[in-house]
Chain A
Amino acid sequence: MHGFFETDILSDMQKPFYVKVLLVATLLLGINAFAQEKDHSSSEEKGSLKTEIKEFIGHHLLDSHDFTLFTLDEENNEHVGFPLPVILWDNGLKVFSSSKFHHGESVAEVDGNYYALYHGKIVKTDSEGTINYDEDHHATNVKPLDFSITKNVVFIFLVSALMLFLFARMAKSYKTSALPKGIGRLLEPIVLYIRDDIAIPNIGKKHYKKYMSYLLTVFFFIWIINLLGLTPLGVNVTNNIAVTFALAILTYLITTFTANKNYWKHIFWMPDVPVFMKIVLAPIELLGTFIKPFSLMIRLYANITAGHVVLMSILGMMFIFKNWIGSPLSFGLAFALSLLELLVAALQAYIFTMLSALYFGSAVEEHHDH
């Protein structure tokens, strides 16, 4: 995947937006006008088109420092969208607008330091924007700590605000009547489902209450943000390993800090097995406590990423086949897959919540005879 990323990256950065506009247009119009336009393309162009689609998918999966809805004219660098604040920690806090990068085309100069976008990441560079590579073709430029409000951060903000708004409103509606009003009618069964079918069976009636806030928040957060990933806005928050890592580490920390004596006993000194087995099992069990949240992280990340890659590859096929059967076929496939992705969005939220509840349940399980 690295090869095509690193060739002329700065000038190629914009191509995905170009392709994206056409993708959307083709989807909306349902005709293959674009394909006919490029009818004269040779096999060589076909190769570059494939690369372009691959790059676009790769880029789509990445976070970005500006909020670009679509590109009007790639040559003149005209985009519809808005820049986002870049916050760097590089010997002091540096805050500036991402418009300084001009969509990755130029080097941003702040307080005598020069920064450039490289693979969607900010690297420190000189006034020319030189990127140095080591023998493995990795950039060796210094990467400052980047706390920028990226597109994904914006969406995390938005989803957080949306959730606060929805659920605070729902909570308020209970003050006037015993039954929820408005959106609460839709949300209450889901809340009750999480309580009655996820929390109570896995954690137990005695302890489930203290975990409910986390389970509910994580379920709705993942679900809503997964659904947003399916919109044409093209935000994919949960396919960032950093996001799923943050969620998984919370599950791990809550499990670890609420665990009772029984839980630790089962890890370090497994009861009812010979002493030799106890010694063998301890490191395995200890490793298991890390593997559990790790699997949570990878599962969510991989499912959402895979869904997006497959969906976009199918859309990309439209441009490769370029005949009357290709577009409807890929449209139909993409449509069916989108429906599947809707299910996956909810399913992954459910699985994450369910497994978190299971781990919490094991942490507070009371001692009983085996």
Chain B
Amino acid sequence: MEKLIEQFSFGLFFWQLLLFIAVLLLLRKFAWKPILDAVEDRESGIKDALAAAENAKKEMQNVTADSERLLQEARVEREAMIKEAREMKEKIVTDAKDLAQAEADKMIKQAQLAIESEKKAAVADIKNEVATLSLEIAEKVIKEQFSDKAKQMKLVEDMIGDIKLN
């Protein structure tokens, strides 16, 4: 210890203190501050960049999911549209068929009615004709009868038989 104190050089102490503080101050201004700032900037830059990349990745995933969803929706919509169109087609066809059927039925009915009325008219005509004819025949027969009694009788009988057949 005594030797240490004896060895102690005040001059060296003075220079060491002076130079060290000078170097410390100079380095702080010209080296440590810029270096540490630059390193910190770089580190925060890296951190930011990583966060940005992570965000971008997430966004990308979102976009992909969105487009996937849109595609799915479009597909579903298309399917629905196709189905609807098919249904519509079927409906139209059915409707047309029904309409045609109804029209046909109506026409048939009208025809039937026409036929019926024609038939009635024809039957009425025939009845008139028959009546006329019958009267003429009856006239003739009566004329004959008045010429031949037996024959007259027989004729009447025959004619009545004929009428019955009708």
Contact = CB atoms under 8 A, between A and B. Distances in A.
Contacts of B30: 164, 167-168, 171
A240 B9 contact: yes
A145 B20 contact: no
19 contacts: A87-B11, A145-B10, A147-B11, A148-B11, A149-B15, A150-B11, A153-B19, A157-B19, A164-B23, A168-B27, A171-B34, A191-B39, A195-B39, A213-B27, A213-B28, A221-B23, A242-B8, A245-B8, A250-B17
Given A156-B15, A164-B26, A195 B36 contact: yes
A242 B35 contact: no
A163 interface: yes
A23 interface: no
Interface in A209-250: 209, 212-214, 216-217, 221, 240-243, 245-247, 249-250
A141 to B, nearest CB: 14
A220 to B, nearest CB: 9
Interface of A: 1, 62-63, 87, 121, 145-150, 152-153, 156-157, 160, 163-164, 167-168, 170-172, 174-175, 178-179, 188, 191-192, 195, 209, 212-214, 216-217, 221, 240-243, 245-247, 249-250
Please report whether the interface of chain A is mostly helix, strand, loop or mixed according to DSSP: helix
A294 B8 CA distance: 14
Interface of B: 3-4, 7-17, 19-24, 26-28, 30-36, 38-39, 41-42, 45
A212 B36 contact: yes
B16 A242 contact: yes
Contact of B11 (A145, A192, A249, A250): A145
Please report whether the interface of chain B is mostly helix, strand, loop or mixed according to DSSP: helix
A275 to B, nearest CB: 37
B13 A245 contact: yes
A179 B19 CA distance: 30
A360 B145 CA distance: 168
Contacts of B14: 147
Contacts of B36: 191, 195, 209, 212
Contacts of A209: 36
